[in-house]
């Protein structure tokens, strides 16, 4: 979803091992920090040579991944005539120097290696390109690049960190074995380095999906998930385990970490894993979260009684990851995929659509599951799963923070705590469970705080 306002940008320019100095500040279109294309366009024009954004270095006054003043490290693919190499100051050298957990595509050599791999793969496929690669997006989770085709269909290179993401090539192949039209055509994959090369999918992302788009894509995902559960391939695929019973232990571990980090203060202990930032959980919130975690086994049992199978879960099934040409939609972006409860995908579109469209999504999703699993109760599963939904994302966001370098943490720093608070806020509204969730947070069944 777009933003009306832009951002102010400064850059540090390198060419290989040479530091060529700072450039900016200047304004660019588009507020999202991860949107690299406007930065590349402006800096290439300023310097007269092609450039690519390596990473965000620091940010001030931004909010939620957008706006403010953003400093980037930019690599010039050719040496600009207007700049000469010189010594970086101590602070700049520290900002641009090596760092733990840096993404592979966020270094000059790593970026060039990824582009070389993509171009070799396209060459082997007989897919000549028309011009230089176009950088669309780069951030702590992925990089996205477009290759314009000399003939035929454009191609997209996506790079992710394999240490904490699903192997997208394997997930696409697995879903594609059931419904090839549900997934983007794949040209090549390098799972060791987290590289994926895909054919361009025509159409537009389905922000604000139509009734027809919902009626198309939701039942097709359900059908594929049901098939992969029925033949056992989802369970055997080696996906990250986020099944409800496993999630209970992961939530407890996260709460232990957050409590320990809060006791140690903002700095934590030397060598400790990064902790979530933002206002820490209060003693009352932490006690409520512990109580919720203690009652999760009862909630998990109630969820299991709804009869839906554990299967491959997309993990980020919002309509921005549906792409439609007006006839049929394709689902993209499988880095968050895992083995888990399908109601987590069923609930995901809710925060991205109108109330009217959400009513349709829920009805279509539930009807599809009843068709594939007669006697199941998907409507109840969708109601019950909400606390687990938020806790799943709390665990996932902490996973992000544990694997990205410090300068990239502002993208998701407060998200684990926000999701835990959201789980507490909704827990009292979950009715009909043996967990008595309303007693956990002092809320009645309408979610209103009791006085």
Tell me, what's the pLDDT at 451? 20
Chosen domain end from 200, 223, 258:
200
What average pLDDT does range 276-289 have in this prediction? 82
pLDDT tens per residue across span 426-450: 986 553 444 444 433 333 323 322 2
- Neighbour count for residue 238 (Cβ, 10 Å): 10
Do 80 and 163 reside in the same domain of the chain?
Answer: no
Do 63 and 111 reside in the same domain of the chain?
Answer: no
CA distances from 214 to 156, 317, 341, 346, 371 (A): 25, 12, 20, 12, 17
Chosen domain end from 67, 97, 127:
97
pLDDT at position 113 over 50: yes
Helix, strand or coil, per DSSP, at residue 83: coil
Do 154 and 135 reside in the same domain of the chain?
Answer: yes
Q: Is residue 451 part of a domain?
A: no
What average pLDDT does range 22-42 have in this prediction? 94
Beta bridge partners of 12: 22, 73
Tell me, what's the pLDDT at 250? 97
Tell me, what's the pLDDT at 272? 40
pLDDT at position 263 over 90: no
Q: Is residue 302 part of a domain?
A: yes
Do 156 and 261 reside in the same domain of the chain?
Answer: no
pLDDT tens per residue across span 61-72: 888 788 999 999
| Cα separation, 20 vs 209, whole angstroms | 46
Domain count, the chain: 3
| Cα separation, 319 vs 357, whole angstroms | 11
Do 92 and 65 reside in the same domain of the chain?
Answer: yes
Nearest residue to 298 (alpha-carbon basis) of 376, 339, 245, 377? 245
pLDDT tens per residue across span 366-404: 999 999 999 999 999 999 999 999 999 999 999 999 999
What average pLDDT does range 206-232 have in this prediction? 97
Confidence of residue 152 (pLDDT cuts 50, 70, 90): confident
Residue 176: phi, psi to the nearest 5? -65, -25
Half-sphere exposure for 136 (CA within 13 Å, toward CB): 11
The mean pLDDT value of the chain amounts to 90
> What is the pTM assigned to this prediction?
0.89
Relative to beta strand 329-331, strand 142-147 is: unpaired
Tell me, what's the pLDDT at 433? 42
Relative to beta strand 69-76, strand 7-15 is: parallel
The DSSP annotation for 125-151 comes to TT--BSSS-EEEEESSSEEEEEE-BSS
Tell me, what's the pLDDT at 430? 52
Do 436 and 317 reside in the same domain of the chain?
Answer: yes
Tell me, what's the pLDDT at 356? 97
Chosen domain end from 200, 222, 257:
200
Kindly report the length of the chain.
451
Domain containing residue 166? 106-200
pLDDT tens per residue across span 59-106: 998 887 889 999 999 999 999 998 999 999 999 999 999 999 999 999
| Cα separation, 223 vs 155, whole angstroms | 28
**CATH code at 314?**
3.90.1200
pLDDT at position 47 over 70: yes
Nearest residue to 160 (alpha-carbon basis) of 205, 105, 235, 234? 105
Confidence of residue 5 (pLDDT cuts 50, 70, 90): low
Q: Is residue 325 part of a domain?
A: yes
The answer to whether 394 touches 421, Cβ cutoff 8 Å, is: no
Do 73 and 210 reside in the same domain of the chain?
Answer: no
| Cα separation, 214 vs 356, whole angstroms | 12
Over pLDDT 70: what percentage of the chain?
A: 90
Tell me, what's the pLDDT at 70? 95
Do 407 and 304 reside in the same domain of the chain?
Answer: yes
Tell me, what's the pLDDT at 339? 98
Q: Is residue 19 part of a domain?
A: yes
pLDDT at position 265 over 90: no
Confidence of residue 277 (pLDDT cuts 50, 70, 90): low
Confidence of residue 266 (pLDDT cuts 50, 70, 90): low
Tell me, what's the pLDDT at 441? 34
Confidence of residue 151 (pLDDT cuts 50, 70, 90): confident
**CATH code at 113?**
3.30.200.20
């Amino acid at each position: 979803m777009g933003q009306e306002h832009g951002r102010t940008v400064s850059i540090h320019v390198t060419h290989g091992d040479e530091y060529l100095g700072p450039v900016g500040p200047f304004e660019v279109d588009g507020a999202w920090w991860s949107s690299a294309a406007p930065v590349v366009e402006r800096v290439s024009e300023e310097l007269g040579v092609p450039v690519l954004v390596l990473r965000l270095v620091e940010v001030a006054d931004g909010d939620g991944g957008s706006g403010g003043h953003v400093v980037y490290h930019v690599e010039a693919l050719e040496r600009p005539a207007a700049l000469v190499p010189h010594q970086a100051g101590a602070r700049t050298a520290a900002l641009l120097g090596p760092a733990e957990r840096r993404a592979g595509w966020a270094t000059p050599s790593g970026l060039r290696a990824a582009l070389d791999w993509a171009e070799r793969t396209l060459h082997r496929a007989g897919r000549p390109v028309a011009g230089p690669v176009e950088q669309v997006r780069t951030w702590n989770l992925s990089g996205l690049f477009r290759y314009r085709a000399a003939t035929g269909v454009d191609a997209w290179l996506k790079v992710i960190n394999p240490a904490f993401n699903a192997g997208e090539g394997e997930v696409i192949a697995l879903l594609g074995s059931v419904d090839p039209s549900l997934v983007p055509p794949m040209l090549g994959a390098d799972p060791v380095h987290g590289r994926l090369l895909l054919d361009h999918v025509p159409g537009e992302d389905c922000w604000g999906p139509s009734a027809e788009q919902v009626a198309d894509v939701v039942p097709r995902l359900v059908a594929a998930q049901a098939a992969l559960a029925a033949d056992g391939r989802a369970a055997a695929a080696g996906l990250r385990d986020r099944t409800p019973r496993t999630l209970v232990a992961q939530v407890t571990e996260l709460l232990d970490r957050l409590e320990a980090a809060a006791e140690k203060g903002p700095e934590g202990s030397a060598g400790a894993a990064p902790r979530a930032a933002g206002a820490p959980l209060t003693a009352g919130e932490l006690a409520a979260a512990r109580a919720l975690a203690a009652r999760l086994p009862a909630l998990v049992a109630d969820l299991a009684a709804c009869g839906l199978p554990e299967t491959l879960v997309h993990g980020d099934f919002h309509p921005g990851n549906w792409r439609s040409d007006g006839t049929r939609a394709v689902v993209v972006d499988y880095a968050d995929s895992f083995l888990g409860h399908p109601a987590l995908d069923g609930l995901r579109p809710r925060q991205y659509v109108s109330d009217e469209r959400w009513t349709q999504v829920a009805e279509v999703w539930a009807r599809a599951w009843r068709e594939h699993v007669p006697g199941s109760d998907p409507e109840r599963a969708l109601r019950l799963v909400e606390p687990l939904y938020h806790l799943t994302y709390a665990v996932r966001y902490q996973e992000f923070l544990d694997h990205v370098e410090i300068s990239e943490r502002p993208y998701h720093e407060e998200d684990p705590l926000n999701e835990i608070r959201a789980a507490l806020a909704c827990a009292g509204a979950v009715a009909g469970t043996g967990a008595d969730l309303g007693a956990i947070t002092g809320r009645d069944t309408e979610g209103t705080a009791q006085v």
